[in-house]
Amino acid sequence: MIKLQGCVDQNYMVLGLGRSGMASVNTLIASGANVICWDDDEEKRSLASSKGFQIKDTISDFDWQSIDRLIISPGIPHHFPLPHPIIAAAIAAGVLIDNDVGLFFQSVATESWSNFSVRPKIVAVTGSNGKSTTASLLYYIFSTLGYKSQLAGNIGRGVLDINPPGNNEIIILELSSYQIEVARTLSPDIAIFTNFSADHIERHGGLGGYLAAKRRLFAEGCPDYSIIGVDEIAGLNLAQQLAVSVGDESVIRVANKKSITEFGWSVSYENGQLLEYRKGRQTNSIDLTKYDNFVGRHSYQNAASAYAACRVLGLSPRKVAEAMKGFNGLAHRSQKIAIFNGITFVNDSKATNVESAMMSLDAYKNIRWICGGQQKDGGLSKLNSVTQSVKRAYIIGLEAEAISRQINCSSVICNDMKKAVEQATEDASAGDVILLAPAASSFDQYDNFEDRGDDFISQVKRVIEISQKTNST
């Protein structure tokens, strides 16, 4: 647990008692703060009360003058579309608002760090797609090479739950726009911007607000090194704004569409090669065609971003290349489930927006595409540019009919996952890929994309078992 600084006898209110909220409460209390809590969910309030936490009796008629700071959980809107009533009241009263990420950066570096021979380093990863995989790949590389490291943030472990960093330790944080936009303190050593696409528009009041939230990690966090994916105009502009000159090596550009050689430091993926350039000269390369664990442009982009961070931290290209070979990816992210009768089943349930689904469709041939769910702004018609390899689409979800009218490939409405997997398997032949890449959120049928991916896996296993039993009789 991170020991928070400057909290003794201070009065905090924590809004939201999920994973990050409960971690904030525990850490604040352990650090000497007085804490009062609230969650709109009565069950969560009761659970917190049973643990001895002080629960606010009502959200109205509260003395905000007694509160030094309000700590909010990432899922609670503080601005768009409307701020939560407690947040609105706190803002009106002039109470400072923060979150667990802000508390972390405020407190993680202590005077004891001056006694380390090598100061700990913090790598923060954000972006629309690929941040979980990039962060996990970094953690895998460092762990494989014997470095003490911890992974936290928007993936798995809360930032306040980690152990205080030790000598030469590397902390990897995956940070969402929700976390970055509220944090009052941001100070990573290295910050990574994987890519940018339309997502969370309602929460941020538009695409500009979404980008502005991501940008805070770089503009206000002031990392020593910024690793920026420049395949989209947003990344190009961000890199240009951060760099003090064309040759500025503190801004490392990453591209997977073409080599970029004219800047101080860049990493590109081209024709199966991961290429590192310094001051216009190629200095190192990795042949990714020998890696069957990286498939598609999005995987190459993640690899390039992680490679760049490793190089900043002084790792040799050879060691990074060797470590990367053992990385098997994350669940629900281009996850190969099974190969049966020559048919490959791939779970990319995390492809919840059009851009990530586009990368997934671009990575495979002979696709039986399971898609659908709750559409995001703009629908799915943009995907028509990459459906050449789709033999048929199997559409699920409450908006299946509307989606079927947007895509230009052969399609069938299946409504649920069971029917979609059954029909796709029946239609498929050896060499086909049955790909779950929904291009939509899961909330019409599932609690989250993990549940949707788990259902896909379950249905695949069921179909294979039935087929095996049938063939054995």
Task: Tell me: do 265 and 386 sit in the same domain.
Answer: no
Q: Do the Cβ atoms of 298 and 359 come closer than 8 Å?
A: yes
For residue range 395-404, what is the model confidence (pLDDT) as tens digits? 999 999 999 9
Q: In terms of domains, do 302 and 211 share one?
A: yes
Q: What is the pLDDT of residue 452?
A: 97
Q: Give the mean model confidence (pLDDT) for residues 281-293.
A: 87
Question: In terms of domains, do 205 and 169 share one?
Answer: yes
Whether the model clears a pTM of 0.75, i.e. scores above it, the answer is yes
Pair 112, 92 in one domain: no
- 135 and 243: one domain? yes
pLDDT of residue 323: 95
Specify the residue for token string 């809590």: 37
Amino acid at 156: G
Q: Which of 280, 300, 324 represents a domain boundary (last residue)?
A: 324
Distance CA 52, CA 391 (A): 58
Q: Tell me the pLDDT tens digit for each residue of 37-88.
A: 999 999 999 999 999 999 977 766 678 889 999 999 988 988 888 999 999 9
* CATH code: domain of residue 359: 3.90.190.20
Helix (H, G, I), strand (E, B) or coil at 168: coil
Q: Is residue 1 part of a domain?
A: no
Helix H or strand E segment including 287: strand 281-287
Domain shared by 371 and 261, yes or no:
no
Same domain? 422 vs 308: no
Print the domain residue range for 166.
Answer: 103-324
Say how many domains are in the chain.
Answer: 3
Tens digits of residue pLDDT in 187-231: 999 999 999 987 777 777 888 888 999 999 999 999 999 999 999
Structure tokens belonging to residue 291: 């890696």
Residue 459 domain-assigned (yes or no): yes
pLDDT confidence tier of residue 473, bands split at 50, 70 and 90:
low
As a whole number, the mean pLDDT across the chain is 92
Domain identity same for 86 and 157 = no
- Residues 260, 314: Cα–Cα separation, whole Å: 22
Residue ending a domain, choose from 261, 295, 324: 324
Residue 328 has what pLDDT? 82
Is residue 412 within 8 A of residue 356, CB to CB? The reply is: no
For every residue of 330-366, DSSP letters joined together read: -TTSSEEEEEETTEEEEE-TT--SHHHHHHHHHT-SS
Cβ-based neighbours of 314, under 8 Å, separated by 6 or more: none
d(CA 75, CA 98): 13
Same domain, 40 and 20: yes
Kindly state whether residues 167 and 249 are assigned to the same domain: yes
Residues 309-316 have a mean pLDDT of 96
Do 84 and 122 lie in one domain? The reply is: no
pLDDT in tens, 241-277: 999 999 999 999 999 877 788 899 999 988 878 999 9
pLDDT of residue 61: 66
Question: For residue 379, with 0-12 CB atoms within 10 Å meaning exposed, 13-18 middle and 19 or more buried, which class applies?
Answer: middle
Q: Are residues 82 and 137 in the same domain?
A: no
Whether 310 is covered by a domain: the verdict is yes
CATH code of residue 123: 3.40.1190.10
Residue 34 forms part of a structural domain? yes
Nearest to 194 by CA among 71, 333, 64, 80: 333
Whether 5 is in a domain gets the answer no
